[in-house]
């Protein structure tokens, strides 16, 4: 993977940070798109519940599957 993914947990749920300037989308159970906040260095998805997620990155061919528990 050409970028770093960081996962943290706090009282509101999980926080997923991706250090990449590429456009990306995060889906829960491949249906519901999660909204993230982006700047010119990273994208952050916050308040994520436990479950299965799929990260799609425009410059990466394969989807990245993430399980939070």
With tokens 């519940």, the residue in question is 49
Tokens of 20: 């990449």
pLDDT band, very low/low/confident/very high, at 13 (cuts 50, 70, 90)? very high
Are 47 and 12 a contacting pair, CB within 8 Å?
yes
* pLDDT interval class at 21 (50, 70, 90): confident
Q: Specify the pLDDT at position 2.
A: 78
Bridge partner residues of 32 (DSSP): 28
pLDDT digits (tens, 9 = 90+) for 24-65: 999 998 689 999 999 889 999 999 999 999 999 888 889 999
Q: Report CA-CA distances (Å) from 27 to 10, 48, 51.
A: 20, 11, 11
The DSSP call for residue 2 is -
Q: How many residues does the chain have?
A: 69
Confidence at residue 30, expressed as pLDDT on a 0 to 100 scale? 67
């Amino acid at each position: 993977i050409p970028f770093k993914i960081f996962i943290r947990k706090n009282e509101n749920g999980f926080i997923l940070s991706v250090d990449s300037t590429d456009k990306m989308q995060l889906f829960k159970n491949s249906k519901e798109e999660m909204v993230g906040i982006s700047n010119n260095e990273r994208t952050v998805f916050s308040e994520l519940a436990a479950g299965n997620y799929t990260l799609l990155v425009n410059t990466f061919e394969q989807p990245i599957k993430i399980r939070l528990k």
